[in-house]
Amino acid sequence: MTRQRWITLAFQFGALVLALGFTTLILLATETDPWQAYKYIIIGSIGSLRKFSDVLVSFIPLLLVSSGLLVTFSAGLWNIGVEGQITLGAIATTWVLRLLQGSSLPPGVIIALAILAGMLGGAAWACLAGALKTYGGVNEIFGGLGLNFVATALTLWLIFGPWKRPGIGSMSGTEPFPDSLWMPMIPGLRLSPWALGIGVLFIILIYFLMKGTHFGLRIKAVGKNIKAAYLHGVPTTRYLMLAFLLGGGLAGLTGAIQVTAVYHRLIPSISSGYGFLGLLVAMLVNYQALWVAPVAMFFAALNIGSIQLPIVLKLDSTLSGVLQGVLVLFVMLMDGIRQKITKRWGGGS
C-alpha cells in the first residue's frame, strides 16, 4: 500500500472517530448512556442469526443502488432521482407479475421477466432525467427530484386505483403475490440467497467495469472534465446517457428485489429510503467500488440495530441516521483537510 493511501486511511479513520465523538456528545446531552446505546445497536444487528439475516435484507438493496450511483457519480452526475427509479422498477416488476400471474409460464421465468422489467423501468425513468439534462438543460438534481414526486404519486394512484386490493384501497399495498412468485427464501428467515447473490454479482461487475475497461475510463474522463473529454473525442452526451442508463437500471433492479424478495407486493414507500442512503454510501467511499460492500454493510447494520433503541432505551431509532449523516460530513471535511495538507507538502517539496 502506498504512503498516500495510508494517509487517506488515517484521515478516514479520524473522521469515524469524530463522528462517534459527536454522536456520543448528543447522547450525553440527552442523559443517555452512549455505551448502552452502541451496545444495543450491535446486539440488534448481529445478536442472532435472524437479526443478521435482517441486516443482509437491508444490505442487498443498499449495495445495488450504491453500485449504480458509483457510475453516475463517476460521470459527474448527481442522480438524486434514484428514489423514483427504484419506485418505477418496483412498479414495472409488479405490472409484469400481475400480467403473467396464472399464465402457463414457469414461475422462475415469470420472476426473471419481472426483474428484467424492473431494470428497464428504472433505466427508462433515469433516462428521462438524463434527457432533461443533456437536451433540455435542466439540472439533474431538480429533474430527479421532480421525477421522484411523480413516481410517488404514480405508486399511490396504482395502489388506491387500478391495483387496489379487492374491495378496499389500503396503505399496506397491493394484493400479495402467491409464494410461487417469490424469490426463493431461506426457511424461517426473510432472506433470499438469490437476491444476495445478485447484489454481490453486480458490485463485482461494476468494480471491473469502472476499473479495468475502456468504458469506465471514458466515464471517469467525462466526470473529471467534460469539456476536455469532448475535445479528446469522447462522445460526452452518449456517455452521460449511458451513465444514467446503468445507474437507473440498478436502481430499478433494487425495486424489483423489494417486490420479489422482501415485500412480495407493491407498497407506497417501496424504496424505503435506500436511494438517499445510497447517496451517502457513494460519497463516503469516494466513488471507489472496492469499499461499497463494507460501508453498505455498516449502514445496514446501523439501520437494523437501531430498532432496539426505542424498545430498550426509549430512544428514537433515528440516532442511526444522525451517525450516518455526521460520518459523511466528517469524511468530506477530513478529505478536504487532507487535500490541502497534501498540496502544501507537495508545493514545498
Question: What's the pTM value of the predicted model, to 2 decimals?
Answer: 0.90
Q: Which three cell numbers stand for residue 243?
A: 451513465
Determine the pLDDT at residue 5: 67
Direct distance between the N- and C-terminal alpha carbons of the chain, in angstroms, rounded to an integer: 22
pLDDT digits (tens, 9 = 90+) for 6-29: 777 777 778 878 888 888 888 888
Amino acid (1-letter code) at residue 130: G
pLDDT higher than 70, residue 290: yes
What's the CA gap between 295 and 87, in Å, rounded? 24
Range from 77-86, 103-112, 287-296 carrying the lowest mean pLDDT: 287-296
Contact present, 205 and 71 (Cβ < 8 Å): no
**Residue carrying the nine cell digits 443478521:** 52
Range 302-321 burial, b when 16+ CB lie within 10 A, else e: bbbbbbbbeeebebebebbb
User: In the predicted model, what is the mean pLDDT of residues 319-331?
Assistant: 78
Mean pLDDT of the chain: 88
222-226, long-range: CB < 8 A, 24+ apart: 222/75, 222/76, 223/73, 223/74, 223/75, 223/76, 223/77, 224/76, 226/76
pLDDT digits (tens, 9 = 90+) for 123-156: 999 999 999 998 888 889 999 999 999 999 999 9
Amino acid (1-letter code) at residue 306: S
pLDDT higher than 90, residue 244: yes
Determine the pLDDT at residue 349: 41
Between 3-29 and 34-46, two packed helices, what is the crossing angle to 10 degrees? Answer: 110
User: In the predicted model, what is the mean pLDDT of residues 188-217?
Assistant: 93
pLDDT digits (tens, 9 = 90+) for 152-183: 999 999 999 899 887 765 678 899 999 999 99
**Residue carrying the nine cell digits 456520543:** 24
What's the CA gap between 83 and 89, in Å, rounded? 10
